[in-house]
Amino acid sequence: DIQMTQSPTTLSASVGDRVTITCRASQSISNWLAWYQQKPGKAPKLLIYKASSLESGVPSRFSGSGSGTEFTLTISSLQPDDLGTYYCQQYNHWTFGQGTKVEIK
């Protein structure tokens, strides 16, 4: 199975900061990568699909990039509402990364 590794595990940043989360696949997955945000006690919410396509209704400060084995999720200007845990997911057998917890300083 393809393994997904996210970094960092935890991230603490200030409101307005540019934040980047990385997801690496153990083998090439082309652009079949999605990103989700999960707030405490809630279901995950889709942010990005096919590596860089923004899901409808998601703020434009979120963006995704990458292909092959390395991908990034960027929040251009961190907002208080962005706290939560972020997961990447690849399409082949739907493997998820272990998550990155984003905290607001």
Partner 1 sequence: EVQLVEAGGDLVQPGGSLRLSCAASGFTFSTYWMSWVRQAPGKGLERVANMGPGGRQIYHVDSVKGRFSISRDNAKNSLYLQMNSLRVEDTAVYYCAREGVEITSGTTRGALDIWGRGTMVTVSS
Task: Enumerate residues 6+ apart whose C-beta is below 8 A from 45.
Answer: 36, 37, 38, 39
Decide: is 34 part of the binding site for partner 1 (CB under 8 A): yes
Min dist CB 91 to partner 1, Å, is: 4
- The answer to whether residues 95 and 2 touch, using CB atoms and an 8 Å cutoff, is yes
Binds partner 1 (CB under 8 A): choice among 21, 49, 66, 102: 49
Minimum CB distance to partner 1 smaller for 3 or for 77: 3
Both tokens assigned to 33: 């990568």
Binds partner 1 (CB under 8 A): choice among 60, 80, 93, 105: 93
